Structure 1
Amino acid sequence: MSDSSRHPRVVVITGASAGVGRATAQEFAAHGWRVGLVARGRAGLEGARADVERRGGTAMVLPADVADAEAVAQAAQTVMDRWGRIDLWINAAMATVLAPVSEITPDEFRRVTEVTYLGQVYGTQAALRHMQRQGRGTIVSIGSALAYRGIPLQAPYCAAKFATRGFLDALRAELLHENSPVRLTEIHLPAVNTPQFDWARNKMPYKAQPVPPIHHPEAIARAIYRAALEAPREVWLAGSAVQAILADAAAPALVDKVLARQAYSGQQTEEPDDDRPDNLFEPMDDQVDHGASGRFGEAARPHVSAYRPARLRAGAAAIAGLVTYGVVRTLFDLKEKDRNTRSSQR
């Protein structure tokens, strides 16, 4: 009998009460994992617990705000005290504000940064303490194509995602220096049908929407499960994410102009947004469980492709090398031809 069958593997997921975190908890439960559920909303957490148990997993509810480093550390310690191990930690919690930079307050910038960036830092630190002692473990960061390309109306969120990439680059080098067995993986997502578009603070006149193509959170969760087990350096999900990242790398000024024309209307429906509560400072699922999905189910895709950027970059480098060789070879041939022509004219 394997160690994992005698002692079920343990995953801790932040942002587990809704959206991608909730769907990911369901996916791991279906594979027999024990699942620690970290979020603020009590009703959402209890709904996630029921999901996990229905799918054959064991759940532990860990109410915490990821912006509170001590609360996150205590959640990790609670898991260790009860289950004795953390094999995998997934940082999926996020917050955003849909508004131009000029209309976002310092408190709003701070809160998005504390949840979306520092929440990843605190979760990673909490997991790392225990994984280094136990001599194994994987930490997964749920990122976004917006970690590579900022877009209008989401400056705090994009900046937090960029910051997370820099943090993980630095940490990865430190772990290599220490010959640590702990693995780091970044998974960058496309648009997903989650409740956040009805929860996020919105200062625009119309309701928020994800920029198509949109994907079901369950499809994303299946890809996260596979990537978490294999633990490559990075995974980009969906061709739309790959296109956004590579287009910005190739022609950022052109992408600036496209986003200036399209990103305002692309992130809003035609339905006016009423004055409503949001989840920036208080959870929206404390009293009512909203589940994993949002209101865009009919437009959402049931499958998503996964891409390894290391392979894409290797392919691009090979193509660039061939093109460079071709150009150099052509110039050499032209030079030889010109030399031979001049020789024959003498």
Structure 2
Amino acid sequence: MNSRAPAARPHNSGDDSPPTVVVTGASAGIGRAVVREYAAVGARIGMIARGRAGLEAGAEEVEKLGGTALAVPTDVSDYDAVDRAADAIEKELGPIDIWVNGAFATIFAPFREITPEEFRRATEVTYLGAVHGTMAALKRMRPRDRGTIVQIGSALAKRSIPLQSAYCGAKHGIDGFSESLRTELLLDHSGVHVTVVRMPGVNTPQFSWVRSRLARQPRPVAPVYQPEVAARAVRYAAEHPTRKQYWVGGSTVLTVLGQRAVPAVLDRYLARTGVSSQQTAPDIGHEAGNLFAPLDEHPGTDHGAHGIFDDEAHDHSATWWLRSHVRGLTVAAAAGTAAIIAGGAARTRLRHM
């Protein structure tokens, strides 16, 4: 749906006008939830993804919620296509204030079973897609000296797990690239910010359409959160972008701090449990998946924001509420968690001596 918006006033310039937001991976999952989150406050939203059905359905939702939408079908692995999409969005909706990089494609399989073409494709979409989105955003934000780029990251960017080597590698890459960029923006005293929101396991449709060679249905590692939790965190981060990263969910806190404290213990633990914890019911059959082509290309194939794990997914995160409302308590909780992890690791080592 293409809707003509009034000329956008600069965001972050002291006025209260809704922002112009670009979301990649906007057709489903976390990206779709972010679109809804911003639509509810009347934002102008440029929606980028490959799947036309998901984009069209999402654009209709935006209009119903009071926002303005422009859906631009785009493969983020193609920089020129992303740049053209950004041009179209600014022409239609006005200067881009916030750019959210959420697009990804991946494969669930042991590394030994992944082909070079599959690994390359997952890297091009997930890692280079974020790089391309950031390039397109900076091309427009830096001359205006304002704007925010939010990378939808993962706890798996700090602690990799089995069966997801392509995804973990790409997310690690996004972290490294974003840190480098942040230092350059600081050096230039730029008004443009970049921040990473580190996500836990989220109930998105990816587990039903991802390319997989597992014996059973892929699933997120528990505990699982609803995509709306992630979307609220993305919006908060965009409104408070001077912090380099945000951790969403208690499992993310435990994962990151555990990796810092006892990485070798986590290696052994994940070797024992990492494969079974990512599989559930018998496989529903998605060997091909959406790695090379979208599965929501045709009318009637919109997958929305939620996956098939609604019955166990949490609507809220207590640790995120603390982080976004009471900073001191969050710092204290993080310190306490680190102490607990270190103590548990010490006891584990003693048992194995």
Q: Tell me whether the two structures share a fold, i.e. TM-score over 0.5.
A: yes
Correspondence for 1:72: 82
Distance in 1 (CA, whole Å) between partners of 2:16 and 2:160 is 46
- Structure 1 pair 112–180 and aligned structure 2 pair: CA distance change class (3 A): same
Q: 1:223 aligns with which of 211, 233, 244?
A: 233
Q: C-alpha displacement at 1:314, in angstroms?
A: 11
Distance in 1 (CA, whole Å) between partners of 2:60 and 2:222 is 31
Distance in 2 (CA, whole Å) between partners of 1:312 and 1:115 is 35
Larger helix fraction of residues: 1
- Structure 1 pair 34–119 and aligned structure 2 pair: CA distance change class (3 A): same
The amino acid of 2:248's aligned partner reads: L
Q: 2:246 aligns with which of 235, 239, 245?
A: 235
Number of aligned positions between the proteins? 318
- Counterpart secondary structure, 2:247: strand
Q: C-alpha displacement at 1:315, in angstroms?
A: 7.0
CA-based RMSD: 2.2
The amino acid of 1:298's aligned partner reads: D
Correspondence for 2:347: none
1:286-301 alignment to 2 at 5 Å?
286-287=297-298, 288-301=301-314
Alignment deviations for residues 48-92 of structure 1 (CA, whole Å, 9 cap, x no partner): 101111110000011100101001111111112222300000000
Distance in 1 (CA, whole Å) between partners of 2:215 and 2:265 is 27
Correspondence for 1:249: 260
- Counterpart secondary structure, 1:143: strand
- Structure 1 pair 258–314 and aligned structure 2 pair: CA distance change class (3 A): closer
Q: C-alpha displacement at 1:7, in angstroms?
A: 5.1
Conservation of the 8 A alpha-carbon contact between 1:205 and 1:273: no
Q: C-alpha displacement at 1:3, in angstroms?
A: 6.1
Conservation of the 8 A alpha-carbon contact between 1:39 and 1:62: yes
Distance in 2 (CA, whole Å) between partners of 1:142 and 1:148 is 14
**Uncovered stretches (5+) of structure 1, i.e. residues with no partner:** 321-346
Conservation of the 8 A alpha-carbon contact between 1:53 and 1:59: yes
- Structure 1 pair 99–276 and aligned structure 2 pair: CA distance change class (3 A): closer
Correspondence for 2:275: 264
The amino acid of 1:70's aligned partner reads: D
Correspondence for 2:138: 128
Alignment deviations for residues 97-136 of structure 1 (CA, whole Å, 9 cap, x no partner): 1111100000011011101100000000000010011221
The amino acid of 2:162's aligned partner reads: P
The amino acid of 2:179's aligned partner reads: D
Q: C-alpha displacement at 1:270, in angstroms?
A: 3.2
Distance in 1 (CA, whole Å) between partners of 2:228 and 2:74 is 24
| Bigger CA radius of gyration | 1
Alignment deviations for residues 266-311 of structure 1 (CA, whole Å, 9 cap, x no partner): 0001323425541100001111111110100010001123248997
Distance in 1 (CA, whole Å) between partners of 2:283 and 2:75 is 31
Distance in 1 (CA, whole Å) between partners of 2:221 and 2:334 is 28
Conservation of the 8 A alpha-carbon contact between 2:24 and 2:100: yes
1:15-30 alignment to 2 at 5 Å?
15-30=25-40
1:33-72 alignment to 2 at 5 Å?
33-72=43-82
Using structure 2 for the length normalisation, give the TM-score. 0.86
Correspondence for 1:344: none
- Counterpart secondary structure, 2:229: helix
- Counterpart secondary structure, 1:302: coil
Correspondence for 1:164: 174
Distance in 2 (CA, whole Å) between partners of 1:198 and 1:46 is 20
Alignment deviations for residues 304-329 of structure 1 (CA, whole Å, 9 cap, x no partner): 23248997499759x99xxxxxxxxx
- Structure 1 pair 32–164 and aligned structure 2 pair: CA distance change class (3 A): same
**Identity across matched positions, percent:** 48
Correspondence for 2:5: none
Q: C-alpha displacement at 1:218, in angstroms?
A: 1.3
Using structure 1 for the length normalisation, give the TM-score. 0.87
Correspondence for 2:346: none
Distance in 1 (CA, whole Å) between partners of 2:122 and 2:80 is 18
Distance in 2 (CA, whole Å) between partners of 1:6 and 1:312 is 31
